[in-house]
Structure 1
């Protein structure tokens, strides 16, 4: 008899889910558009984006192709560190943990609003100026 164990999504799954949602929004796709393109239900997309369900490697590959990014896009800014082991000195991973938590410093709703507004700017020179402005503000 097979035993079913419900596993809570780990931090990597949560990060991948956020990246999926962010990229979908950046491209102006609805959950329905994405669902139809990869042949799953809208509810499944919602579960992927909330990390209720884990995304299989095959689906992740399909998402990457559809969203026009390499598969590693979903893992950018995540080092090889995932979960501390009992016998490893985790203090050596402090820098990696800081990088990994970078996406958690800004509320998701703010990121989505920023992406939507940025997406509406069609002039590439203005986009560059916006990026430069944001970079200059982070120094203050």
Structure 2
């Protein structure tokens, strides 16, 4: 019994995860954590202080290197003012299938977070700057301008 228990804990089974490779779901949850933290303008240091962790631990969470437990995820959701489900939203079908099938890694071609414009720092900074504009009329004009430029039109 002890032998089977020990082998369940090592990294040699058929579903073993290569050492140092984060699980796809953990990477997704970490990316959503980073996205929300950045969107509200909170530093890793401030978030770490709020939950009693170092900024290095927050970095590990955001990279998916360390898994976030349920109680910690709930605590983070409260601090970041989002439901726990937020961290699982927009998960690709590839990540979902990998989790359901017990896969510990995704194919090398899966780089969704890097190609997703919503995950880029530039996008998050743009959204934060946009919402710092206090006048709703100015904000609306800026929004219309951005849409017009994106569509190749000119504003009056």
Q: Shorter-chain-normalised TM-score: which range?
A: 0.5 to 0.7
Correspondent of 2:86 among 54, 73, 91: 73
Gaps of 5+ in 2: 12-18, 102-111
Mark the structure with the bigger radius of gyration.
Answer: 2
Q: How has the CA–CA distance of structure 1 residues 138 and 32 changed in structure 2, closer, same or farther, with 3 Å as cutoff? A: same
Residue 104 of structure 1 is matched in structure 2 by 115
Matched residue pairs, number?
127
Q: How big is each residue's C-alpha offset from its partner over 1:17-67, in whole Å with a ceiling of 9 and x where there is no partner?
A: 111111111222111110011111111001111111111111110010011
TM-score normalised to the size of structure 2?
0.62
Contact 2:27 2:65 in 1 (8 A): no
Correspondent of 1:55 among 65, 68, 85: 68
Q: How many angstroms does 1:110 deviate by?
A: 2.5
Residue 115 of structure 1 is matched in structure 2 by 127
1:31 aligns with 2:54: no
Distance 1:102 1:131 in 2: 25
Distance 1:136 1:27 in 2: 27
1:42 aligns with 2:55: yes
TM-score normalised to the size of structure 1?
0.68
Q: How has the CA–CA distance of structure 1 residues 136 and 11 changed in structure 2, closer, same or farther, with 3 Å as cutoff? A: farther
Q: How has the CA–CA distance of structure 1 residues 13 and 139 changed in structure 2, closer, same or farther, with 3 Å as cutoff? A: farther
RMSD over aligned CA atoms reads: 3.2
Residue 16 of structure 2 is matched in structure 1 by none
